[in-house]
Amino acid sequence: MPKLLLTKRNIDSKKHIPPVEKGQVDYFDTEVKGLMLRVGKESKTFYVQVDVLDLTTGKYKSVREKIGRYGEWTPEEARATAPQLIRRLRDGKPKEDPPPTLKAIYERYLVDKRLSKGTVTLYKGYIPRLFESWLDLPLNLLEKALTPEVVIDRFQHIRENNGPGAANNSFKCLQAIINYAEILYPQFITRNPTKVLSRTDMWAKIEGRDDCLEPKQFKIFSDALLKCTPAHRDCYTFALYHGIRPAEAYSLKWEDVDLENDFATFRHETERSKRTYTVPLSRQSKAILSRRKAAATEGQVHVFPKQGPRNKHEHLILRADHLKGKTGLSLTPHGLRRSFITTGERLRLRREDINWLTGHTDNTVTGKHYAKLTPDDLRPVLQAICNEIERLMLEGVGAKVITLPTAAQNQ
DNA sequence: ACTATGTGGATCGGGTCTAA
DNA sequence: TTAGACCCGATCCACATAGT
């Protein structure tokens, strides 16, 4: 059997490898033991071949495995891949499955990770639509196909055509999927091509919103809510009195409200990015819930029931355009949460307390201590904020009374 | 480095007001 | 009495932010 240093130059040379008319000729590499090029009439293909001791017979036998065709694989790549293949053959391990496609990983990711419904929708909304042409790539070719230039090009294309948020989101989803592929198939992919966006600092910078009720706007807000349905009005106000996230407000169920002991629990499906938490009720928020209870029909599950006739959900929905339309303010439902937090800060209340009440997780050392607190411990703090919000809604900014937390505790 | 939810535009379709 | 305007709460989708 011929031996030959398997380099591009040698492989292409007719002198070293004469054309084959019939059958095949194997050329073993002079450098890597076990690496060989099988030359046929039509193609040249890299293989590894080793002798392995068969434990059942006590004899050696030759086993061979295909690396890939010359042309798709360079000699350097074949030489780099050969040692691990040889090692596996010597260990008697079975041949691995062919590399899955990006699409297969994407589908597996959605199943394996047990994401929330919303996140699955997010992935499904971006990946097939914006990366369709990449989905059929097998994992082992991903690094090769998705060069920095290709990645950056697509990123910029999406940013121009779909917006900066869509560009960030879609590529972060893709990045997560490929990271998962790296974990599952380190033999096929070792570097995430999307990382180039971090390394070149290309992610689109998106400013956070900051809409928030000014002190003088509380009254405008409150008065404008009279134009809403009572349920909407109560839901907006409840959200403001607790500083909770909009969905926590409108999806609240009666089973998570304790009107005897004055608690409410805001639940989260997966708890991976938001935790379920229980807060005390204030005098004001309890009044809202009691009013809702009185208005509730038999068997009504949600505190704030749907208002229109053709709703998918049994609860109503808070919408920014709705809120803006009614109040004339540039205010989103999430802005009510910022308004609550800001009110607490104006009262010079502790940031940790406010975090606790609004379901922010606090990983600081001080924050850990707060894990031991019960909703009752935070009741006076919530009451102080609610009193100030109520005062602003009723009286406006005039005759501002500074309510100190200590004074508030007596209420 | 993610995961989850919020926002906004277009649009739907039932309710209600209005005018003939 | 009824057609049509139009109002309004919601939906759906695509994109933007919030939060761990």
Specify which residue's alpha carbon is closest to the C1' of nucleotide C13. Answer: A125
User: Residue A409: its pLDDT value, please?
Assistant: 43
Q: Indicate the SS3 state at residue A49.
A: strand
Q: How far is the CA of A306 from the C1' of C5 (A)?
A: 25
* Residue A28, strand partner residues: A3, A36
Domain total for chain A?
A: 3
pLDDT band at residue A372, thresholds of 50, 70 and 90? confident
A279 located within any domain: yes
Judge if A226 and A360 occupy the same domain.
yes
CATH of the domain at A275: 1.10.443.10
User: Residue A59: its pLDDT value, please?
Assistant: 66
Nucleotides of B under 7 A from a protein CB: 1-9, 12-15
Reported in sequence order, the residue ranges of A40-184 that DSSP labels E, i.e. its strands, are: 44-54, 59-69
Render pLDDT for A352-362 as a digit per residue (tens, 0 to 9).
899 999 998 87
d(CA A411, CA A402): 14
| pLDDT: which is higher, A309 or A75 | A75
Could you give the percent of chain A with pLDDT greater than 70?
Answer: 92
Judge if A30 and A154 occupy the same domain.
no
> What is chain A's Cα-based Rg?
32
User: Residue A95: its pLDDT value, please?
Assistant: 61
Decide if A159 contacts A167 (C-beta within 8 A): yes
User: Residue A34: its pLDDT value, please?
Assistant: 82
Phi and psi at residue A42, to the nearest 5°:
-100, -30
Judge if A328 and A228 occupy the same domain.
yes
Residues spanned by the domain of A311:
217-408
Judge if A156 and A272 occupy the same domain.
no
Task: Look at residues A90, A117, A141 and tell me which one is the last residue of a structural domain.
Answer: A90
Render pLDDT for A107-127 as a digit per residue (tens, 0 to 9).
999 999 888 888 898 999 999
User: Residue A258: its pLDDT value, please?
Assistant: 96
Judge if A86 and A107 occupy the same domain.
no
d(CA A257, CA A334): 22
Judge if A247 and A372 occupy the same domain.
yes
Q: Taking 70 as the threshold, does the pLDDT of residue A377 lie above it?
A: yes
What is the nearest nucleotide to A335, using C1' and CA? B6
Decide if A106 contacts A135 (C-beta within 8 A): yes
pLDDT band at residue A167, thresholds of 50, 70 and 90? very high
User: Residue A388: its pLDDT value, please?
Assistant: 96
Q: Name A residues 26-85 whose Cβ lies under 7 Å from strand B.
A: none
Task: Say which range, A87-96, A318-327, A378-387, has the weakest mean pLDDT.
Answer: A87-96
Judge if A281 and A227 occupy the same domain.
yes
User: Residue A102: its pLDDT value, please?
Assistant: 95
Task: Look at residues A166, A199, A232 and tell me which one is the last residue of a structural domain.
Answer: A199
What is the nearest nucleotide to A195, using C1' and CA? B1
Judge if A21 and A138 occupy the same domain.
no
Q: Quick check: A116 CB within 7 A of strand B? A: yes
What is the nearest nucleotide to A173, using C1' and CA? B2
Render pLDDT for A275-325 as a digit per residue (tens, 0 to 9).
899 999 999 999 999 999 999 988 889 999 988 777 788 899 998 989 998
pLDDT band at residue A264, thresholds of 50, 70 and 90? very high
Amino acid occupying residue A405: P
Task: Look at residues A90, A123, A142 and tell me which one is the last residue of a structural domain.
Answer: A90
A207 located within any domain: no
